[in-house]
Amino acid sequence: MDKPNATPLTSLDQWEDDLLQRYPDPASINAQKSKEEFRNYDAPPRDTVREFYRLNHTYQCYAFVREKEKEFLSFNKKEMSVWEAFDFLNQLVDDSDPDTDLDQFQHLLQTSEAIRADGHPDWMVLTGLFHDMGKVLCLFGEPQWAVVGDTFPVGCAFSDKIVYAEYFKNNPDINNPDYNTKYGVYEPNCGLRNVHMSWGHDEYIYQIMKPYLPEPALYMLRYHSFYPQHREHAYTHLMDDHDVEMFKWVDLFNPYDLYSKSPTPPDWKVLRPYYEDLVAKYLPSTLKF
């Protein structure tokens, strides 16, 4: 295989432009803009999105995922407070996002504030604040295609419901009889807790928050990019009844992520005491990344 290019996209969030075109939802969370106004590029860079998914689908194989789990889930890269982590994340300012010129933290804050405005539990507000924190992987040297993008199981056949599924043709697992059947290394309805997902920011932040947040929050973090299932229902055969129940929380969360962006930034000076108390309620003084 050819050597992967680390940065086919001009923005880490550019893949979401393609996502919103594929899965438009009513933008009831943001009354200031219609759904057609979100991610509205004058000239959508579809070629770079396709190149992103070509790389993603070529290299996200079972062996790659297991290697990355071993590399990053020892959490020995950096130890930071939550607020230091947000400062770190803000090195990834998104200059090409058409919905906002705010930094990464402001997007997370808008998501959490939209959740809070609708009266959801405080742990869900905190989930909104943390859901993209796993993008710090880019600052640890991970390529874009191993940080963002729609996620999917590895170790079994790739569904044709996955976006740009044609690019799996060069994935090493596609011709491996251990991995290219419907169930692959898994059992029917084995439960997603036993399934390895493609590597990225969702899995990473889920693993970091696993000791601290309730299970519905963990499902939101781990599967908010698993569009082949919660939009296409392509992997129900791997889910158990508990997964099906928990995915109601994933479905509840996703519109807040996609449609909460607004050009008006939240007033951090006003909000800071609330979020400092909320973080202190659930998390230790530092986290290992």
**In which residue are the tokens 């990344």 written?**
289
Q: How far apart are CA 60 and CA 144, in angstroms?
A: 12
Q: How far apart are CA 15 and CA 17, in angstroms?
A: 5
H/E segment holding residue 81: none
Q: How far apart are CA 264 and CA 101, in angstroms?
A: 10
Taking residues 113-138, report their average pLDDT.
Answer: 95
Contact 12, 97 (CB under 8 A): no
Contact 89, 136 (CB under 8 A): yes
Residue 1 lies in a domain: no
Residue 6 lies in a domain: no
- Paired tokens of 234: 């392509």
Residue 235 lies in a domain: yes
Contact 203, 210 (CB under 8 A): no
Q: How far apart are CA 163 and CA 153, in angstroms?
A: 13
Domain assignment of residue 68, given as a range: 14-288
Residue 262 lies in a domain: yes
Q: How far apart are CA 183 and CA 189, in angstroms?
A: 9
Cα dihedral 249, 252, 256, 257, rounded to 10, equals 50
Residue 233 lies in a domain: yes
Residue 182 lies in a domain: yes
Residue 227 lies in a domain: yes
Q: What DSSP state is assigned to residue 153?
A: B
Question: What sign results for the dihedral spanned by CA atoms 166, 232, 178, 171?
Answer: positive
Q: How confident is the model at residue 80 (pLDDT cuts 50, 70, 90)?
A: very high
Cα angle 247-49-18, degrees, rounded to a multiple of 5: 45
30-76 confidence digits (pLDDT tens): 444 444 443 333 344 457 888 889 999 999 999 999 999 999 999 99
161-196 confidence digits (pLDDT tens): 999 999 999 999 999 999 999 999 999 999 999 999
Q: What is the pLDDT of residue 180?
A: 97
pLDDT higher for 104 or 178? Answer: 178
182 Cβ contact list (under 8 Å, min separation 6): 156, 157, 237
Residue 263 lies in a domain: yes
Please tell me the total count of domains within the chain: 1
Contact 63, 267 (CB under 8 A): no
Q: How confident is the model at residue 221 (pLDDT cuts 50, 70, 90)?
A: very high
Q: How far apart are CA 148 and CA 227, in angstroms?
A: 12
Cα angle 236-174-48, degrees, rounded to a multiple of 5: 85
Q: What is the pLDDT of residue 21?
A: 67
